[in-house]
Structure 1
Amino acid sequence: MSTDLSTPSTDGRRPDGRRIKDDGTAELGVPRSRIVIASLMGTSIEFYDFYIYATAAVSVFPLIFFAQGDDSAALLASMATFGAAFVARPVGSVLFGHFGDRIGRKATLIGSLLTMGIATFLIGLLPTYYQIGLWAPAMLTLMRFCQGLGLGGEWSGAALLATETAKEGKRAWAAMWPQLGAPIGFLLANGLFLALTLAFDHDSTNPDMDGAFLTWVWRLPFLLSLVMVAIGLYVRVKLEETPVFQRAVDNDERVKAPLGEVFRRNWWELILGTFIMLATYVLFYLMTTWILSYAIGSAATGGLAVPYADFLVLQLIGILFFAAFVPISGLLADRFGRRPTLMVITLGVIAFGLTFGTWLNSDSIGSGEGLNTFQMLAFLAVGMTLMGLTFGPMSAVLPELFPTNTRYTGSGISYNVSSILGAALTPFVAAWLVKEYSVAHVGYYLAAASVLTLIALWLSPETKSRSLDSDSRVIAEEISTEP
């Protein structure tokens, strides 16, 4: 016999143990601090896994997973495997979104964390091209695809965990906690790579193919992922279902096929969400993956020939600006609304993109030991500041576009389809633009993507005051009556 979770017991509690508040809804069953830790730690681990691959794709994999002879070809091939995860991410959002909207946020978040963590661990065990030939890049691409599946389900689940438990009027602030996982994961991944590079005296400009770093040390960050996943699982197992999803269960609002429902009733929100996220993706992967390859790349590939360890220190300093401005963006989005805040920030990103030629031209910024360190650090600081401002509100904006019964699926699809358009191709296209044209054209690419985001924001509704307790029919009716 089923239990009606909406019916309180004689002591004022529901059968699941939650106390009934004056407005008839149930209070949170766990401390809010645990929810913050769970959403932050989970995304930190997932992004750590993602970024150690991104770093290795530039500094390690072109040397040991692809045939040597043409440095540019090896780098482009490595970037192509890097992009495989972004193809997988929409698949992951559909797969995990289905279960997230059907059985709940908690169980689905655990599944996505395991998928990502196991794939990352296995990368650390893979043989190289020199050991098994073409099977090596094939297996690497498969593991990268599995990483994308896991992250495709992770982000939307963590965002919903934060937003669906937030205090009234504080959703953007609550939602920024999982967003902080991105800079924290980046700092962990690249800080560890930097420490290992220095400890084992690895020189990316003149790599020792038989040295310890390229033989076995590079594997350590991937293998350590298993320890971090175990910690993340411990935190998440202690969570309870979000009250918003539980009310949807109580009211029998779940649908059998969330994917079909979201495409039938909320296709316009899918389009808006995808392009709202576009500039954020392009900016981030230019400021992390591409700029690393440009800075440490040889003059033959159009790079600046800066030693890997030297540039990584600058990049780690720059990421602190990213982390610092994520909370600020949450406050701004709650104070002024999602739409106006993001429109102003996107205009700033457009202006920044138009200045790439001034910032990064080798005649201006120098190269190798002659790099103008202050100019490069200023470039990274400005870019990462804008990244924190545009990325922070996204875990509120995208979930708010969709109803409870398809929110996991809808927000995940928008976020991850945008990753194909804005991230999968960005490092590859940027490397090609530098080789064929100039570094200024990379900035034009960013500006063009940001114009598309600005248009999407202009067409989108303001969701700051929208209730999260709604099914797909209600959202569709609201959209149809908005001016």
Structure 2
Amino acid sequence: MTVRLVHTDATSAAVPADGIPDVADTPPSESAAASGSATGPESLRRVAVASFIGTAIEFYDFYIYGTAAALVLNQAFFPTLDPVNATLASFSTYAVAFAARPIGSVVFGHFGDRVGRKSVLVVSLLLMGLSTALVGLLPGYGTLGIWAPLLLILLRFLQGIGLGGEWGGAALLAVEHAPKKRRGLYAAFPQVGPSVGFFAATGVFWLLSAVLDDGAFRSWGWRVPFLLSFLLVGVGLFVRLKISETPVFARVMDAREASRVPVLDVVRRHPRELLLGAGGMIIAYGLFYTATTYCLAYTTGTLGVSRNTMLGLSLVACLFLAAGTWLAATRSDGAGRRKLVLIGTVLSAVWGLILFPLLDTGQPVLIAVAVGGALFCMGVVYGPMGAYLPELFGTTVRYSGASLAYNLGGVLGGAVSPLVATRLQAAFGSDSVGWYVTAMAVVSLVCVLALPETRERELG
């Protein structure tokens, strides 16, 4: 269905010193549209905070699983396998969520494009958070036998469904509320959320590893980060229930122009944007999960670096990820989304060849440089994508299109990276893993070169 909407640009609104304009400062007609409800104007600061907190919480949930998969799940749920195969089995349960994420994109995208962004985000938060918390209550193989890994896979699958609907909704919440010339800035908030979620997840594991002996950590300590999700879900719901629908989607509902089956419209009318957008995301996922989940297992298992040291170095690396994400996202309003993503893919291709020579030194400072540099490169790609992917699709299919492209990239880049890296390192040595990262970067580079610039596009 063709969208025939008039976009109301809010760039004429007064902009306070902090760079985040308030809807209350816009003209009355724009303020009413931005509120999306009968409760009156809503601060864009609240939207920015809500999108940031939501992604931080949900990616905390997702990342603690990756950390646990690298450190302890192989022994807790696959104790009968040899070390390499147990690690592969642990990473396979990790990959299940990536396979589920496109399904979540289709399900949540359908209702997000038909019912609204806000209500879908609440449901995705509940599904993701509760699935994560239940992992912390799940008995291990010694208690349940084969049912333990099967239930673990089920919970991981539900995690993936929930996260599959999260990112698209959070990005749209920010982008569709934002003034045209500041969409990159507002999209930076949900894009930085994963950095904070990763920092929190790593920090909790680092603290537990520091205060508990190895037996206590492997027995029950690893469960604590999962159980904290019960609390975080409550915080996320409190924040998200206070926001309103986006003005862009509210106009679609008023005009009764919602797509009947959004995902089919995406496939029929935007196949190029869908596939190339997914390809552009491959290196962001591949580099992140190689530099974090796989490298954590590699350095602690193969190189003999202590678990606590690596978790501490990962905390430092989180800062590089946040810096690269924020820098590229905010600069994309002026320089353009496509240009900065291309720069990020080139940097990633180069860093893939540097990553493992630095890691193999076994020196903590050089390991920090290796992982931190990789995450900075990933952030340069990832930051502008918060505005870039939504801008590729029309309003009536934007939730479905952006989410599906984002999560298909996760299947191609994130799901298989730890598995491929483990096999490559065992067969050909660590340098082969670096070449694999570079190859992913080249694929993403080619895909983004085939996409247009979008920062001047109207969203309506």
- Is contact 2:352–2:438 with CA below 8 Å preserved after alignment? yes
Do 2:299 and 2:359's aligned partners in 1 also have CA atoms closer than 8 Å? no
Q: CA contact under 8 A between 1:19 and 1:26: conserved in structure 2?
A: no
Contact persistence 2:292–2:371 (CA under 8 A) = no
The aligned amino acid for 1:238 is K
Q: Distance in 2 between matches of 1:430 and 1:236?
A: 38
Q: 1:185-236 CA distances to partner (integer Å, 9 max, x unpaired)?
A: 011111011111111122xxxxxxxx32222222111111010000100111
Q: In 1, Cα distance between the equivalents of 2:294 and 2:118?
A: 35
Deviation per CA, 1:251-296: give whole Å up to 9, x if none: 2221111111111111111111111111111111111101101111
Alignment of 1:259-274 (within 5 A): 259-274=263-278
Pick one of 44, 50, 56 that aligns with 2:62. Answer: 50
1:26 aligned to which of 33, 55, 60: 33
**Unmatched tracts of structure 1, length 5 or more:** 1-5, 7-16, 203-210, 298-302, 366-370, 470-483
Residues 20 and 26, structure 1, Cα contact 8 Å, conserved in 2: no
1:397 corresponds in structure 2 to 388
TM-score (ref. length: structure 2)? 0.91
The number of equivalent residue pairs is: 433
- CA drift at 1:24: 9.7
Structure 2: how far apart are the matches of 1:22 and 1:112? 32
Shift of 1:343: 1.1
Which of residues 432, 445, 455 in structure 1 aligns to 2:436?
Answer: 445
Contact 1:42/1:158 (<8 A) preserved? yes
2:331 pairs with 1:332: yes
Inter-CA distance 66–466: structure 2 relative to 1 (3 Å threshold): same
Deviation at 1:60, TM superposition (A): 1.1
The letter for the 2-side match of 1:217 is G
Instruction: Give the Cα–Cα distance (whole angstroms) in 2 for the partners of residues 63 and 458 of structure 1.
Output: 44
Cα distance between partner residues in 1 of 2:380 and 2:340 = 9
Deviations 1:444-481 (A, max 9, x none): 11111111111111110110101110xxxxxxxxxxxx
C-alpha change, 1:135 and 1:176, in structure 2 (3 Å) is: same
Residue identity matched to 1:200: L
The list of structure 1 runs, each at least 4 consecutive aligned residues, that deviate by more than 4 angstroms after superposition, is 17-20, 22-25
Contact 2:281 2:406 in 1 (8 A): yes
1:255 to 256, 259, 268: 259
Q: What is residue 388 of structure 1 aligned with on the other side?
A: 379
Note if contact 1:356-1:439 (Cα within 8 Å) is conserved in structure 2: no
Letter in 2 for 1:290: Y
Q: Match of 1:63?
A: 75
Separation in 1, partners of 2:30, 2:224: 52
Deviation at 1:23, TM superposition (A): 7.0
Q: How does 1:94-173 map to 2 (within 5 A)?
A: 94-173=106-185
What are the Cα deviations for residues 316-371 of structure 1, in whole angstroms up to 9, with x where unaligned? Answer: 1111111122221122211111111111221111111122353233xxx0xxxxx3
Deviations 1:3-23 (A, max 9, x none): xxx9xxxxxxxxxx9996467
1:436 maps onto 2:413 in alignment: no
Secondary structure in structure 2 of the residue aligned to 1:277: helix
1:291 aligns with 2:301: no
Letter in 2 for 1:154: E
Aligned counterpart, 2:221: 217
By how many angstroms is 1:381 displaced?
2.1
Counterpart in 2 of 1:349? 348
Q: Is the CA contact 2:343–2:380 (under 8 Å) kept in the aligned structure 1?
A: no
RMSD: 1.7
Distance 2:189 2:132 in 1: 23
SS at match of 1:392: helix
What is the alpha-carbon distance in structure 2 between the residues aligned to residue 272 and residue 118 of structure 1? 33
**Corresponding residue for 1:468?**
459
Cα distance change of structure 1 residues 291 and 334 upon mapping to structure 2, 3 Å threshold? same
| Paired residues for 1:186-201 under 5 Å | 186-201=198-213
- Mapped to 2, the partners of 1:295 and 1:126 lie a distance apart of 28
CA distance in 2, matches of 1:360, 1:212: 29
| Structure 2 CA distance for aligned equivalents of residues 320 and 217 of structure 1 | 25
Alpha carbons 1:360, 1:439 under 8 Å: kept: no
**Counterpart amino acid of residue 429 in structure 2:** S
Q: Which residue of 2 aligns with 1:10?
A: none
Do 1:352 and 1:383's aligned partners in 2 also have CA atoms closer than 8 Å?
yes
Task: Report if aligned partners of 1:18, 1:26 keep a CA contact under 8 Å in 2.
Answer: no
1:357/1:240 CA distance change after superposition, 3 Å: closer
The 2-side partners of 1:89 and 1:194 are apart by 28
| Alignment of 1:377 onto 2:368 | yes
Partner of 2:102: 90
Contact 2:284–2:379, Cα closer than 8 Å, also in 1: no
Bigger CA drift: 341-350 or 121-130?
341-350
Provide the C-alpha distance between the structure 2 equivalents of 1:321 and 1:50, rounded to a whole number of angstroms: 20
Letter in 2 for 1:462: E
Shift of 1:25: 7.2
Q: Deviations over 1:16-50 (max 9, x none)?
A: x9996467972443111110111000000100000
Relative distance call for 1:71 and 1:265 in structure 2 (3 A) is: same
Alpha carbons 1:18, 1:27 under 8 Å: kept? no
Larger radius of gyration: 1
Identity of aligned residues (%): 44
Name the amino acid aligned to 1:328. L
Secondary structure at 2:49 match in 1: helix
Distance 1:258 1:214, change over 3 A: same
CA distance in 1, matches of 2:320, 2:194: 12
